[in-house]
A and B are shown apart, each in its own frame.
Chain A
Amino acid sequence: MGELRRDPVVGRWVIVETEHPDRPENLTQEPHVFKQEGTCQFCYGREAQTPPEIEASRLQGTGANAPGWKVRVIPNKFPALTIEGQLEKRGVGIYDLSNGIGAHEVVIETPEHRKGMADLSDEEVLEVIRKYKSRTLALSQDRRLKYVLIFKNYGESAGASLEHGHSQIIALPMVPKYVLEELEGAKHYFDYRGRCVFCDLLSQELLEKTRIVVENKNFLAFCPFAPRFPFETWIVPKEHNAFFGDISDEQQYHLASILKETLRRCKLVLSDPAYNFFVHHAPIAYEHKERFHWHIEIIPKLTSIAGFEWGTGFYVVSTDPDLTAKYLRETK
């Protein structure tokens, strides 16, 4: 029971439990178990079992698809979209369809099977972020594609079918709905106020401070005022920029540090929860750079979406973001 709050970007109302919010220990999660070590194709020494690598960070003198790597990028063995062919859109009666052109890549974040991103060093996370950047830039060259989504599923209940630490990059021939909604909301705000809504959000969060989890030179991690999920956390660059691919060397360094720090705090407070994160940025070749601001959304998987959320798009959140930020901020 609590308050209805409206997300200032997309205008989505959520119901936030402010009177009797859940504590971290009320939110149950499945224990993290490792069952695939013996057969894991992402492990060191089994490089030949994956599709040939697209790129990798390697020790000097080591060859492709052999040991000696720190981070590897490979095509997904079971891609949701395929890279070959031309995009052909057509109609069948009232329905519209097209063939599934796009890219689906996997970033293997570490040679070590049991290490989650929260357990890596800042330097190791930095190496992963460098791959996100280089793949985003490379895929942005493909004229058939409109959007590059970087995301991670950690834990079975968050949809990870393989337990070895990895993230995924899917490049799409159309801009996905949630990104369109954010672009639309940001445009609306910009037309009305002449400023970027995310920049204004940063100012308010820095002023109020109650929802901040971690802050460093280039980034702010905070629990949004109108979250969809308990312990939802956003990481937003302080400097306005629409494209993730434009991230500077210094920003990459600070992003690695704040991402790792935020995930480590989630792991401590919520006993190693399953989670998803994804990068939202402007579509490829988006012209209105002044309106949009890239960011990362981290969503611990602590609840199931039920009929009410499916039916209304209204989310019910059993935690108060002021308190979730406090738990995350104060954990040692």
Chain B
Amino acid sequence: MPELRKDPTIGRWVIISTERARRPGVFFDYTETAVDSQNDCPFCAGREPQTPAEIHALRQPSGPANTSGWQVRVVPSIKPFLRIEGDINRRGHGLYDVMQGVGAHEVVVETPQHIANMADLDTHQIELVLQTYALRINDLEKDPRFKYVLICKNYGVLSGGGRIRHSRSQLIATPVTPVRVKEELTVAKRYFDFHDRCVYCDMIRQETTTKSRVVLEDSHFLAITPFASRFPFEIWILPKKHSCDFVKENGQNYSFLAVILKRVLQKIKTGLNDPAYNFIFHSAPFRRNANGTQWKTITEDYHWHIEIIPRLTRVAGFEKGTGFYICSIPPEYTADYLRGVVI
């Protein structure tokens, strides 16, 4: 019997359909086919002139920009969604509203070596990447035109990750708070107004008690397959200690986060045959004048987290037409499966 479940953090209903899991060939049949050559990868050490000039690089010992000797490197995207120069120029066109595509679109090259999957970086390297995210976002916050910075990763062709198999992630600063982020903030605030508690903290308490959806847990973080998963093997990583902003975490937490993130990505790689995946950081927008706005309780009501989506199924007309997702394996099953994957 299929079940309808509601995600308490965004109010989205999903259909958890145990019947449809029986359909032949639904899983594990989209293996990655991209092949590329290490010999012409522009992100490898030694080919720095092939990318746009770097915005930032972690170099120890220090050395000149755009040469090798770096550990993590940040460059502008060669195909930016949004451009750093210019005014927003808000205007109307009859019924329609328009503004210029002002923003920032940066690529974080996570390793000088030609390694495709973040799961294969060592924990210390992942920690350096997480520190780089925080450093760049702190810098982008200084530009008053930007309201939000998204951290995301597209691994594999099916995830929109392109054909060059060199591990990297993206930072995108937007001039408006994105609708998806606003929805989450609105629901979290509504829950807080009603209960005086953070919905994510309540979720963490319930998940650590019931345990059936826990993939990994340590002293600082929890990895779960969410109750109302949209996709098979969808995973969220949440800090146990309440905090609305990934960037404001202290450095020690990045070392714990690096450990759990690597372990989750390794379990996905090993257990699901190295599938394409996306991850997305959900963190509070910049709070330059939050006190006077509807978001004045944001530090108490919102809780940053990471969402990881292995790309195992296709999004079809039903999902596109309704925003209702059909997930063909219950999250209790996928959590159990992932707990059993030996890494």
Contact = CB atoms under 8 A, between A and B. Distances in A.
Interface stretch (A41-49, A134-142, A153-161): A153-161
Contact of B101 (A1, A172, A197, A208): A1
Interface stretch (A65-73, A118-126, A260-268, A297-305): A297-305
A252 to B, nearest CB: 21
A225 B93 CA distance: 10
Contact of A99 (B1, B178, B278): B1
A186 interface: no
Given A80-B20, A200-B95, A306-B161, A160 B316 contact: yes
Interface string B1-21: 111111010011101110110
B150 A299 contact: no
A225 B15 CA distance: 32
Interface stretch (B107-115, B132-140, B216-224, B320-328): B320-328
Contacts of A308: 81, 150, 152, 170, 172
Interface in B242-287: 278-282
Size category, A interface: 35 or more
Main secondary structure of the interface of A (DSSP, over half): mixed
Interface in A7-29: 8, 11-13, 15
B33 to A, nearest CB: 11
A293 interface: no
Contacts of A204: 94-96
B2 A153 contact: no
A228 to B, nearest CB: 9
Contact of A312 (B23, B100, B158, B174): B174
Contacts of A208: 94
A98 B172 CA distance: 38
Contacts of A173: 4
Nearest to B93: A225
A170 interface: yes
Contacts of A209: none
Contacts of B279: 307
Contacts of B4: 97-100, 173-174
Given A8-B95, A159-B314, 5 more contacts: A78-B22, A81-B15, A307-B150, A308-B150, A311-B178
10 contacts: A1-B83, A4-B101, A5-B96, A6-B96, A78-B19, A96-B6, A156-B314, A173-B4, A278-B317, A316-B81
10 cross-chain pairs, A with B, having the tightest CB-CB distances, nearest first: A159-B316, A306-B160, A307-B152, A100-B2, A278-B321, A176-B322, A312-B178, A313-B180, A276-B317, A177-B323
